Every structure is written in C-alpha cells, then in structure tokens.
C-alpha cells in the first residue's frame, strides 16, 4: 500500500505537462512528503471537458459497511457504560480517515464493478495525480520496513498515478468535526520489478505516456479504461532508501 509520495516539480510545470487550462491554487512549495489526508494537487475535468489543476485531500470515502461496523462497536461500548446516544448521529460523526489506495475495482465474487467504487470510476471522477517519486516499505527484501523510494529515473521526472476524486463530507478527525472536502485516491495493482522485490503485494497504477493520460481522462467507459490498471514493469528505479521524505529537487 502506497501511503507516501513526493512532488518536487513546480505546479506550472505539472499543469503544462497535463495540459491543464487553469490552476485553482497556483502557489505551492515543493512537497517532499505527501501523506494520507494531506492536501495535494490533482488534475480533474471541468464542465466543458477542459483540465483543471486543483488541491484535494488524499483519502477517498471509506465504505459504508466499514463505518457502520466502527460506529456499532462504539455504540456497544457506550451501552456498556450506560451512556445514552443517538446511533444516527454516532454514525454520522464516525471518523472516516479515508481510503488512499483503490485496488479491487471489480468484485472477485461477481466479476462486476465494485459497488463501492462504481460511482467514481466514470469520466467525471477520474483524475491524474502528479508525483516525482513514491515510497513503499521494505516488507519482503530485508524486511526492515524502511521506505524504498522509486522514480522513473534519478532525475525524478513527473509521472501520474491513475486517480479518482469526489466532493465529500465527513469527519476526518474528531478534533476538527464535520468537514466538506474534495477527496482523492489512486489505483493500485500487482507489483512489478523493482517494486516487487521490496513490496510484493501491490504498487500504484502509473501512467507515463500522453496517450495513457488522455485515455484515463476521456469519456471512454470503464470497460475500455480498465486496461490501464496494470503493473509498470522495469520502468522504475530505486532512487533513495529510508527517510520520511524525498527532498531531492529534480534537475
């Protein structure tokens, strides 16, 4: 599961590469470490089909079932203490930390599009998530769990994760309460080398070619776009080991 990446290129350069017609933020320093629930830039489609660069918070809505189960567990503890509560309010205020990685877009049981992800796999909710490097913990090589940083090469050129996004209202943290946010996440798939050596379970879906970016952002139905949810073999390189950020400024 990828829960850390970096974007060290200027927003203007990212927007130009993705052919975004406007940027709703413009100002942003380099981001050597992007973590879950951080705000980071994504490329979305506007109403007229033009591409827009905007900020969103990393973590798509969690499943209703997961939130219901968590709220039920919380309710059981309150009952044990004799505390009165309104379950509907308890469920509404159950913290939704978000789902950063989207793996099972198709149900293994039915072979159909996963009902939880289905609302956001259409053209209007697909997005490009720019990055210059990303980290996976070493779970399978030396098993140190140190971060292994990957990029297309040492110069860390811009690439894009295949992402989805949506407006969302939820409680991320109890201390902040109810919030209306724009949420995003990106797809993962089977690992390919060199990621597989260190993290065999999964890797992000990475789009490196303009034709892939165009297909992902097109009106094409999911049946056509689904082909992009595949590993990227032998294109990545280990560029750093350890650390909670990748501070290298690309040339």
Query: Across the strands, what pairs with 6?
Result: 133
Which distant-in-sequence residues (6+ apart) come within 8 Å of 209 by Cβ?
Answer: none
5-60+98-241: CATH topology: hypothetical protein yedk fold (3.90.1680)
pLDDT at 47 over 90: no
Residue 85 has what pLDDT? 85
Q: What is the pTM of this model?
A: 0.94
pLDDT at 250 over 80: no
Residue 174 has what pLDDT? 87
pLDDT at 152 over 80: yes
Residue 25 has what pLDDT? 85
Residue 32 has what pLDDT? 97
Which distant-in-sequence residues (6+ apart) come within 8 Å of 183 by Cβ?
Answer: 56, 57, 58, 59, 60, 61, 98, 165, 166, 167, 168
Sheet containing strand 31-34, edge to edge, reads: 31-34, 5-7, 133-137, 147-151, 237-241
Average pLDDT over residues 6-12: 95
Residue 112 has what pLDDT? 86
User: What span, in angstroms and rounded, lies between the C-alpha atoms of 105 and 135?
Assistant: 23
Which distant-in-sequence residues (6+ apart) come within 8 Å of 108 by Cβ?
Answer: none
- Residues 84-139 have pLDDT tens digits of 888 999 889 899 999 999 999 987 778 788 999 999 999 999 999 999 999 999 99
Start-end ranges of CATH 3.90.1680.10 in the chain? 5-60+98-241
Dmax over CA atoms of the chain, in Å, equals 62
Among residues 157, 179, 154, which one has the least CA distance to residue 168?
179
């Amino acid at each position: 599961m990828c829960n850390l990446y970096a974007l060290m290129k200027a927003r203007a350069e990212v927007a130009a590469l993705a052919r975004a017609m406007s940027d709703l933020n413009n100002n942003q320093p380099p981001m050597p470490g992007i973590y879950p629930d951080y705000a980071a830039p994504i490329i979305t489609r506007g109403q007229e089909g033009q591409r827009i660069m905007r900020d969103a918070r990393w973590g798509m809505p969690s499943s209703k079932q997961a939130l219901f189960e968590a709220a039920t567990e919380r309710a059981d503890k309150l009952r044990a203490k004799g505390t009165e509560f309104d379950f509907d309010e308890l469920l509404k205020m159950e913290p939704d930390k978000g789902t950063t990685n989207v793996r099972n877009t198709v149900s293994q049981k039915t072979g159909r599009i996963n009902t939880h992800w289905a609302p956001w796999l259409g053209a209007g909710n697909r997005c490009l998530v720019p990055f210059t490097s990303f980290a996976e913990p070493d779970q399978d090589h030396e098993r140190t769990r140190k971060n292994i940083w990957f990029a297309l090469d040492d110069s860390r050129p811009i690439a894009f994760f295949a992402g989805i996004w949506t407006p969302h209202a939820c409680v991320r943290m109890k201390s902040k309460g109810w919030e209306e946010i724009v949420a995003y996440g990106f797809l993962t798939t089977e690992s390919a080398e060199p990621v597989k050596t260190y993290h065999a379970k999964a890797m992000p879906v990475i789009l490196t070619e303009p034709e892939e970016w165009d297909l992902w952002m097109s009106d094409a139905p999911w049946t056509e776009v689904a082909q992009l949810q595949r590993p990227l073999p032998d294109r990545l390189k280990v560029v750093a080991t350890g650390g909670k950020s990748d501070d290298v400024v690309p040339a």
